[in-house]
């Protein structure tokens, strides 16, 4: 659990991501980061959220034909959900292992697909859920909870 602010507004942000749309995938994390800074979240919370969003959105861009990233902020914390249409994950346990990747050679040549995305998301999350159906798609949900409602800059 992490610290947050005294008053947390309810905010929902959604981003549509197409196949190999790396720009939008990267833009998701950047836009959410700015929004969270504006509402006063502490930097350590923002960093974790940005990592989760970036990794999840890149997975959609790399492995799916289309998908959506939804970020919901409420007084209890932040929930990041991705839902995509694509190949799905055949073996979730294997996909969770650091370094395991099904990314193509082309994707790896661009510097993506190192096999760290899912493990990074899980490590940055307080709750992590992953469901996938082969040749259908994947749903991921990551949550970061606020343990103390304090504004950025307040002493702990």
**Residues 56, 95 contacting (CB under 8 angstroms):** no
Domains of the chain and any CATH numbers = 2-148 (3.30.565.10)
Angstrom CA distances, 124 to 72, 101, 113, 128, stand at 16, 19, 18, 9
Distance CA 39, CA 19 (A): 31
Closest CA to 53 of 39, 65, 36, 41: 36
**Residues 43, 108 contacting (CB under 8 angstroms):** no
DSSP state letter for 81: E
pLDDT in the model for residue 114: 86
**Residues 131, 153 contacting (CB under 8 angstroms):** no
Write out the chain's pLDDT in tens, 156 residues: 444 445 567 999 999 999 999 999 889 999 999 999 998 899 999 999 999 999 999 999 999 999 999 999 998 999 999 999 999 999 999 999 999 998 989 888 888 888 899 999 999 999 999 999 999 999 999 999 987 533 444 443
């Amino acid at each position: 659990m992490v610290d947050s602010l005294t008053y947390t507004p309810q905010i929902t942000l959604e981003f549509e991501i197409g196949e190999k749309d790396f720009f939008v995938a990267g833009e998701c994390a950047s836009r959410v980061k700015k929004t969270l800074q504006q509402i006063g979240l502490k930097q350590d919370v923002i960093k974790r959220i940005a990592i989760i969003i970036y990794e999840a959105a890149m997975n959609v861009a790399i492995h799916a034909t289309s998908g959506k990233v939804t970020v919901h902020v409420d007084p209890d914390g932040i929930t990041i959900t991705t839902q995509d249409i694509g190949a799905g994950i055949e073996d979730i346990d294997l996909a969770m292992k650091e370094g395991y990747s099904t990314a193509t050679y082309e994707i790896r040549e661009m510097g993506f697909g190192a096999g760290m995305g899912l493990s990074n998301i899980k490590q940055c999350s307080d709750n992590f859920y992953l469901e996938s159906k082969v040749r259908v798609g994947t749903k991921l949900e990551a949550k970061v909870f606020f343990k103390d409602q304090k504004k950025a800059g307040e002493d702990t």
